[in-house]
Amino acid sequence: MKKLLLTIVLSVSLFFKSFADEGMWLPLLLGQQVYNDMVKKGLKLTKDQLYHINKASLKDAIIIFGGGCTGEIVSAEGLIFTNHHCGYDAIASASTVEHNYLQNGFYAKNKGEEIPTTLSVQFLVRIDDITSQVLDSLKGLSGAERVQRQSAVLASINKRMSDATQNIETRVSPLFKGNQFLAFVYQRYTDVRLVGAPPESVGKFGGDTDNWEWPRHTGDFSVFRVYTGADGKPAKYAEGNMPMKPKWYLPVSLRPLKDGDFAMIWGYPGSTNRYESSYGIQLATDINNPTLVKLRDVRLKYMFEEMKKDPAIKLQLASSYAGIANYWKFYDGETKQLLKYDILGQKKKAEEKFNAWAKGKPEYAGIFSDWGKAYEAWRPYSKHRQYINEGIFGSPLMGFAASLTQVEAALVKTGSTAGDVRKAVDAANKQRTTFLAGENKLSDEHIVAAVARMFYEDVVKDQHPVGFYGTLKNNYGALDDDNTYKKYAADIFKNTMIFDDAKWNAFVANPDAITLQGDPAYNFANAFYTNYSSKYAPLYSQFTAKNAEYGRLYLKGIMEMDPVKAKMMYPDATFTMRVSYGNVKSYRPRDAVFYDYVTTSKGILEKYKAGDYEFDLPAKQIELLKKKDFGQYMDPTRKDLVVGFITTNDITGGNSGSPVINNRGELIGLAFDGNYEALSHKLAFDKDLNRTINVDIRYVLWCIDKLGGGANIIKELKLMK
């Protein structure tokens, strides 16, 4: 009876809205009450137009772009819009100092000028509910045993439901912390070409200063196209391939926006953890987030110093720097918002209520006592883990050097064959080529010196690699002196074979363990890697297994405790297709401060600083804006060019590039950021202050047409006036 009740609760829980505009809903299970609420807010489309498994629908225009973004099809010839930062790697890879598309922008004047990339996109084919199948395989299991069995079961299902000959890939997503399982079936297309992008100064206007902030004036967009074989099926790149004929594409609206207009966002939000325990909140605010921010701050500092000196270095490090900086600011803001709104206190109150209900119920009564013990056991090592991931292996050199443990294992493992060794060495040789292409030795050397000292000072001494700092002191000097670490890092970078082609090639030709173990970079990386993996990684595995088990049981209990509340629950984001809906809406973040719902070209001119790293713009753009040469993209109510707008939609990382769609199913913008006042959104949604920051589609089109001269691209679109 309990199982039947749980299944019913899980099925209907996706149909109901919790409050405000919170919720990332699975379009497959978009229930009547949620749909009615969307209609009440202004939606004009039918449910079948939104999502249909057998007929073309809006969901067919929404794609996974690359490895972690969203894109949308906007023409009958497979044209894709997404964010500039989502296409950043491809734009940078296509650029050279002589043809710097990243710096100067690029628009193909015809399909022959489009640039091949290594990107792929994925279209959702269908979603299957396989909850019963998975849970039947996990009966009677708990903890690490359940985690291992679940991984094996999901891997088996993924393999069985995939077909490499058709580029069909299946990924089962656990929802509600492992209480429900859906299989998402995708088809991957690998011929994706760069069509256009604005200059970086437009696509990243405002830089780190404006990141996560409103008001915003960033032209965060790029344009690609997906190609197929002559038969319309996925195909590897070939000159004879054809632009895709999509099942559905989004028309583009040129209509003005009003405060309160309906807006929905479709896409692939990466991850949230809104059913996190109070223990998890406290660990994040006390240790994990501050440590991550501190370590990323150091890495960014040294990278930026070198990027300022040389355009070639800026181009080389730009993508890596942007990724590090993005979540440096995010986790800083998340911590502040969690503390400001006492999310810890709110979680504890909810857990007290649960514990009162759980008394006398053996399945649930001891959850929080045991859960607390699991966190107490792991907490002493949590900073160490952050230092390994964000500090020691935040150095590109040390990250690569650590990968050579696979080579050492092949060299020293009993029973290892010459073929095993050659396979490991060849893989390392290939990885080295990629590593060297992105490596900036000067910044990385500073990073290694800095994090080596920070680890020594911040991580408790009994967790240090045995003998490492003693040897460092004996050979280089006092451990409280920066010069000690600088000299040590300089020696590593000077003497490692990783940077010396002759030494490296000799090793590749005749690999031996003694040479590898004697390499200074490998010695550094291996000391920390071995120390962590042998002593603390097993503890982390035990902790994550227990954390998953208690989280699953807690959420299961919550649903049984309050079936009415369960109807208002939605699953955490898992990088699966979701739709959120809300309104274009202004807001008041604090006393006496009002934020309008749009920004305009007036704000661009106010922020513009010639020659500035973050606020410079092309001279042509400034000239056009000053002349108010807005063409058909001018907002008639403001007599200006609208640049960005905000909505109340619920999104998170992975939604970058997501289409913002009006009540008629037309594209009005691209989502690209959240606001600083609500950066707790991965763990707690703020119903009053949450805003999604979007680039207005009219500004995108103006940049393509007026600034970039890409009128041919505009002609492909279905413009709605």
Q: Which residues are catalytic?
A: 85, 220, 656
Residue type, 493: F
Report the DSSP beta bridge partners of residue 706. Answer: none
Instruction: Report how far residue 630's alpha carbon sits from residue 233's, in angstroms, rounded to the nearest whole number.
Output: 40
Q: H or E stretch including 233?
A: none
The amino acid that residue 263 corresponds to is: A
Structure tokens at 369: 């006592």
Q: Give the whole-angstrom CA distance, residue 551 versus residue 571.
A: 13
How many residues are listed for the chain in this entry?
721
Q: From CA 23, how far away is CA 31, in angstroms rounded?
A: 13
Q: What is the DSSP letter of 307?
A: H
d(CA 279, CA 556): 18
d(CA 513, CA 409): 9
Name the maximum alpha-carbon separation found in the chain.
76
Residue located via tokens 């690999």:
511
3-state helix/strand/coil string of 7-46:
HHHHHHHCCCCCCCCCCCECHHHCCHHHHHHHHHHCCCCC
Alpha helices for 367-500 (secondary structure H): 367-386, 396-403, 405-412, 418-438, 441-458, 468-476, 482-495
Give the whole-angstrom CA distance, residue 392 versus residue 400: 11
On whether the CB atoms of residues 41 and 581 are closer than 8 A, the answer is yes
